[in-house]
Amino acid sequence: MNAYDKALYLLSGREHTAKEIMMKLSAKGYGEEEIESAIIRLVAEKAIDDARYVESYVRSRARKGGESVTLMRMKLLERGVSRDKVDAVLNVYRESDEYFDCLKKSYQALSSRKGEEKALRSLMTKGYTLSEIKRAKEDLN
């Protein structure tokens, strides 16, 4: 199986960034030129689209109960997505009702089980800002 076909196989399971595909193909022993050629072809064919990956990632995290924009940004940058693409999607998401609804649900669940102070610390550990948490708390009251 050549690098292009292996990359298509990997992409059939879920979205991947170009960097993820490069790393996986390299780990499988494919040559640098063959990997680069496969990536260029896959990007041209829109099989790899980092902006689409960011949108899919954000939707997935929202369904699973939410994750702070700060934490998502860090994870996406680690996966090799450009800062511009990450910020374009996350800035819109941060202002969405969906983002604060997830935060409110998390705050409500944590504060009822652990108390307000521990809920606050837990959410800040997950990357939420104090102002975001205060806004969610005020909306609940």
Predicted TM-score (pTM) of this structure: 0.78
Residues 107-141 have pLDDT tens digits of 888 888 888 889 899 899 888 999 999 988 888 87
Predicted local distance difference test score (pLDDT) of residue 53 = 94
pLDDT for position 66: 67
Closest C-alpha among 64, 21, 26, 59 to residue 40: 21
Residue 7: pLDDT over 70: yes
Q: For the residues 29-49, what does the mean pLDDT come to?
A: 96
pLDDT tens-digit profile of 79-111? 999 999 999 999 999 888 888 888 888 888 888
From CA 61, how far away is CA 44, in angstroms rounded? 28
Mean pLDDT, range 43-51, rounded to an integer: 95
- CATH fit for domain 1-48, picks 1.10.3720.10, 3.30.70.260, 1.25.40.10, 1.10.10.10: 1.10.10.10
Environment class of 36 (CB within 10 Å of its CB; exposed 0-12, middle 13-18, buried 19+): middle
Residue type, 68: S
Residues of each domain in the chain carrying CATH 1.10.10.10 = 1-48
Looking at residue 97, what is its pLDDT? 86
Interval 18-27: pLDDT, tens = 999 999 999 9
